[in-house]
Structure 1
Amino acid sequence: MRHSTAVTQETPLRTEFPFRLPRGYLDESGTLHRDGVMRLATARDELVPLRDDRVRENAAYLTVVLLGRVITRLGGVSDVHAGVIENLFAADLAFLQDLYRQVNSEGHARAGVSCPGCGHEFAVDLSGSRLGES
């Protein structure tokens, strides 16, 4: 009996995602920072903020603490923390929330469907966000 071995080439796991903020983070000295990097979140990243007193007092603060953990660079700012995130413009915060959802649910918010007319098969994003928009 002969076994056929299929050679599969897996795509390397992407753990960092560069981005450009729509408006930018304006630091205390007046410098605008727009380009940054977000890394994939770990289970720890999602659990640790739940013990944070700020999150316990205000559940909406979870986003701020979580983004402060997964954004590794924002322009010239390498120490990104909740204090930096809470000073972002609302449009930038919304952008980063969408990016977080996209990079951390990749492969989980898609469903395979087929066109009832022609039978063409394709994937649909079920997360409600539109990829490619900022």
Structure 2
Amino acid sequence: MDIATQFEFSLPMGYVDSQGVVHKNGIMRLATAADEIFPTKDAKVKSNPSYLPIALLSRVIVRLGSIEEINTDIIENLFTKDFAYLQDLYNRLNEHGEDAFRTKCPNCNARIKVEVPSLGE
């Protein structure tokens, strides 16, 4: 049995780098125990526990557009809408084991279920 461990995503707005390039498409991998534990030892997380999601996302996002080294600075500079989207995706994939979510069709407003494509399927 193959287990999907990486999932493609597309940010609602996109990360804008220092050259003004917008990066929307990326890949998030499933979190490991180390991904959940090591950030709790980080000084920024210790002084501000609400920083934990930033540290977690910087570990599990393996690509964002052409950027392959994701760090906390990139996550800190996401638009709030994109940050919330990634937090929701992280929770669905890692806590709930779901690779689909309910949303509205942009054309007809019908409620639909959209699957998050995994890589290697």
Give the TM-score of the pair, scaled to structure 1. 0.73
Alignment: residue pair count: 103
- Per the alignment, residue 103 of structure 2 pairs with 133
Instruction: Determine the C-alpha separation between the residues in 2 that align with 1:132 and 1:94.
Output: 16
Cα RMSD (Å) of the superposition? 1.7
- CA drift at 1:106: 3.7
The higher radius of gyration belongs to: 1
Q: How does 1:61-80 map to 2 (within 5 A)?
A: 61-80=51-70
Instruction: Determine the C-alpha separation between the residues in 2 that align with 1:73 and 1:23.
Output: 16
Between Structure 1 and Structure 2, the one with more helix by share is 2
- The one-letter code sitting in structure 2 at the alignment partner of 1:105 is E
Q: How does 1:37-48 map to 2 (within 5 A)?
A: 37-48=27-38
Gaps of 5+ in 2: 105-121
Gaps of 5+ in 1: 1-9, 110-129
- The one-letter code sitting in structure 2 at the alignment partner of 1:82 is T
- Per the alignment, residue 88 of structure 1 pairs with 78
- Per the alignment, residue 21 of structure 1 pairs with 11
State percent identity of aligned pairs.
46
Instruction: Determine the C-alpha separation between the residues in 2 that align with 1:31 and 1:133.
Output: 28
- The one-letter code sitting in structure 1 at the alignment partner of 2:35 is D
- CA drift at 1:131: 1.1
Give the TM-score of the pair, scaled to structure 2. 0.80
Instruction: Determine the C-alpha separation between the residues in 2 that align with 1:51 and 1:35.
Output: 30
- The one-letter code sitting in structure 1 at the alignment partner of 2:16 is L
Instruction: Determine the C-alpha separation between the residues in 2 that align with 1:133 and 1:51.
Output: 36
- Per the alignment, residue 115 of structure 1 pairs with none
Q: After TM superposition, where is structure 1 displaced by more than 2 Å over at least 4 residues in a row?
A: none
